[in-house]
Amino acid sequence: MDLVRDVLDKKLVDSEHCEMGRVDGLVMSLEEHSQPRITHIQIGGTTLWMRVHPVLGNLAAKLARKWGPRRAEPVRIPWSRVLTAGRDLKLHVKARETGAIDWEIWIARHIIERIPGGGHEEAE
Amino acid sequence: MKKALQIALGIVTSVGGFLEIGSVTTAIQAGAAFGYQLLWALLLGTICLIFLVEMSGRFAAVSKHTIVDATRERFGFPFFFVVLVGMVLVAFMVLVAELGGIGLSLQILTGLGFPWWAIPVSFVVWLLMWKGTFSLIENGVSLLGLVTLSFVVAAVRLHPDWGGVAHGLVPTFPNDQKAKYGFLAVSILGASISPYLMYFYSSGAIEDEWDESYIAVNRAVATLGMSFGGLLSMGVLVTAALALKPNGIHGETFEQAALLMTTAFPKWGLFLFAAAMLVACLGAALEISLAIAYFFAQGFGWSWSQDLVPSKNARFCFTYTIIILVATVPLLLGVDPIKVTMMSMALTAATLPLAIFPFLFLMNDPIYLGEHRNGWVSNSIVAVIIVISFVLALISIPLEIVGG
């Protein structure tokens, strides 16, 4: 498998077919006596903007600390949770428990649901 | 039978995609200034668009990915970010122009100035997206769009010299006003090859759950639909050449452009024009707002579907809500939509390489398209379109300054 071609920037889908963003970054562990290996998938604006330019990355980190809906750290999903890597990357997680869709939920509850006809985010 | 119906609907839909304030005003100005001489630019734009739309539809039907998905996946976020900024800026300007076009049409129909219409118009556009399903937007609005057929009827009623029309399909150089001629040619191509249409179309293919069995349908819709749209624009240009040019009307303001149909239909030509523009701009405004929201949602991996209730894809709906809200501001301030239109057409041309260049790689990618990759014919045509787009990008801004 080619990490950049087949993993990076692919769409992430959780075990309930909920779209939970894209692979914004990959975390590798480098230990002295073993091969480098991928440990986590990283999701979130900070990771993403860091790829464009460190200035943007630091700015995004600052904004996330100030106004992020719940946590400032980028969301990390263990590599062992990757089920299949086809057209999309299927993960054995529940999107709302990972924090990857915190913004989606926050906007739904605080803005969209308050507009008539917006429906309810948790309704089936 | 279902597919035949889809082809018919697809053809009608292209009215909303093709005919909008940009293509109408550029065609009117071209006809009013140069007669049939710029028809070739419309023909060239239509041919390019047929191929690009066919490819974006085929890409979505086979790979179940949109062009935007694949641009992020294949080229990475930094490149995608550049495309995002370019496309969204231009699409936003076009949205302002379309909302303004609706306002100007209402101004003709009611006499009330267009800034007064900014808020009601934006609200109705937003409400249609908030409440409407994808097929309502795609089919409902475009059926109303059939009123734009009156552009062709008007052209025929004025008995054009068909030999002259045919002659206009071959590019020639004018004797004077070369800069204006160049500027209009670039604007016509910018108005015809509008990238938001490709993004909208490939997202539509996913919304309508197309698969490989739709490849033939897609080809028919792209070819017939875009030809139909091109024909309507040609009707506008020919009518302008016959009705406005002899009277020395340049069509550079909306009031002048609105005189387009009054020669062919003296009594209600003005209202017919306003009604046609109203519907065409409404369709385009909906498609552009959706295209911008699709662009963000697909690029960042949010859930998106026009058919879900808004809170199920909150960020997607939030995006178009904000975009429409912001687009209302310049109109409230009374910015001239026609000026915005002409500027955005030149900018579309300037950013075209960003939109077209990825096609060459994506359409040849076996991982996405398998055996349905581009053949050498399509690839040569994409290559030609890329060359055209680079030339347009280089000359559009200087021409905007000299000729616009």
Count of domains in chain B? 1
Mutate to test the interface with B, among A10, A19, A75, A91 (most CBs of B within 10 A): A19
Pull the structure tokens for residue B395: 């000359």
Give how many domains chain A has, as a whole number: 1
For B167, the token pair is 């002659």
CATH number for the domain spanning B320: value is: 1.20.1740.10
Q: Provide the whole-model pTM.
A: 0.94
Interface contact flag, A112 B317, Cβ < 8 Å? yes
Nearest to B279 by CA among B66, B24, B52, B70: B24
Residue A104 to residue B302, Cβ atoms within 8 A: yes
- The nearest CA of chain B is from the CA of A14 a distance in Å of 12
Domain membership of residue A122 (yes or no) is no
Buried b (16+ CB within 10 A) or exposed e, B134-155: beebbbebbebbebbebbbebb
pLDDT in tens, A79-93: 999 998 778 899 999
For residues B106-131, give the mean pLDDT.
94
Q: What are the structure tokens assigned to A108, written together?
A: 């739904």
> Could you give the strand order of the β-sheet that contains A37-43, starting from the edge strand earlier in sequence?
A25-29, A37-43, A75-78
pLDDT in tens, B288-342: 999 999 999 999 999 998 888 899 899 999 999 999 999 999 999 999 999 999 8
Could you report the per-residue pLDDT of B336-381, keeping only the tens digit for each? 999 999 889 888 988 999 999 998 899 999 989 999 999 999 999 9
Structure tokens at A9: 């920037």
pLDDT over 80 (residue B391): yes
Which residue segment(s) compose the domain that B278 sits in?
2-403
Q: Is residue A123 one of the residues assigned to a domain?
A: no
Which range of residues forms the domain containing residue A85?
3-114
On chain A, the residues whose CB falls within 8 A of the CB of B300 are: 21-22
* Chain B residues with beta carbon closer than 8 angstroms to that of A105: 314
Alpha carbons A15 and B349: distance in angstroms, whole number: 43
User: Which residue, B191, B208, B220, is CA-closest to B42?
Assistant: B191
- Count helices and strands (H / E) in chain B: 19, 0
Residue A11 has pLDDT above 80, yes or no: yes
Interface with chain A: mutation pick from B59, B77, B126, highest number of A CBs within 10 Å: B77
Burial grade of B123 (CB within 10 A; 0-12, 13-18, 19 or more): middle
Distance CA B321, CA B386 (A): 33
- Tokens 């303001």 sit at which residue? B253
Is residue B312 classed as helix, strand or coil in its secondary structure? helix
Residue A11 domain-assigned? yes
Calpha distance B391→B255 (Å, rounded) = 33
SS3 B14: helix
CATH code (residue A86): 2.30.30.240
